């Protein structure tokens, strides 16, 4: 994976900040075990520093990790959720969308599926 593919993550955070100007903290859901997703996360971190947005990383590696990630998000109450997609995240998107809807949490997702 090239750095060019990681670059849109930073631009997506910029867009999220533009839509929600008071965005101060964003939870980021991602799979740290996936190297390509790690590149995207690093780009997102760089953009967050520039935008002055705190990043709360929630690493999911197995389907059962989502429940703990959601609990942690509710403890810290982020202003939005940024999702870095991979097959694990995509296959669990229903519970992700249900969580975000229930908690009225804006979500930036990489694709429409």
Backbone angles phi, psi at 80, to 5 degrees: -160, 170
CATH code (residue 100): 3.40.50.2300
pLDDT tens-place string over residues 8-52: 778 888 899 999 999 999 999 999 888 888 888 999 999 999 999
Residue 37: both structure tokens together: 């997703």
How many residues are listed for the chain in this entry? Answer: 113
Q: How far apart are CA 29 and CA 107, in angstroms?
A: 10
Question: pLDDT confidence of 4, banded at 50, 70, 90?
Answer: very low
Which domain does 21 fall in, by range?
A: 3-109
Amino acid 8: pLDDT: 77
Q: What is the CA radius of gyration of the chain?
A: 13
Q: What is the mean pLDDT of residues 87-111?
A: 91
- Report the domain count for the chain: 1
Is a pLDDT exceeding 70 seen at residue 2? no
Question: pLDDT confidence of 7, banded at 50, 70, 90?
Answer: low
If DSSP codes are grouped into helix, strand and coil, which group holds residue 68?
helix
Alpha-carbon torsion (22, 81, 106, 69), positive or negative = negative
């Amino acid at each position: 994976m090239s750095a060019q593919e990681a670059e849109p993550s930073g631009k997506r955070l910029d867009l999220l900040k533009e839509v929600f100007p008071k965005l101060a903290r964003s939870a980021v859901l991602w799979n740290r075990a996936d190297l390509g997703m790690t590149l995207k996360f690093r780009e997102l971190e760089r953009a967050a520093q520039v935008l002055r947005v705190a990043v709360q990383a929630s690493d999911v590696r197995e389907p059962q990790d989502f429940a703990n990630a959601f609990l942690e998000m509710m403890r810290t109450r982020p202003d939005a959720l940024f999702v870095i997609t991979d097959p694990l995240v995509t296959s669990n998107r229903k519970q992700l969308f249900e969580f975000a809807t229930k908690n009225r949490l804006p979500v930036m997702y990489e694709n429409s599926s």
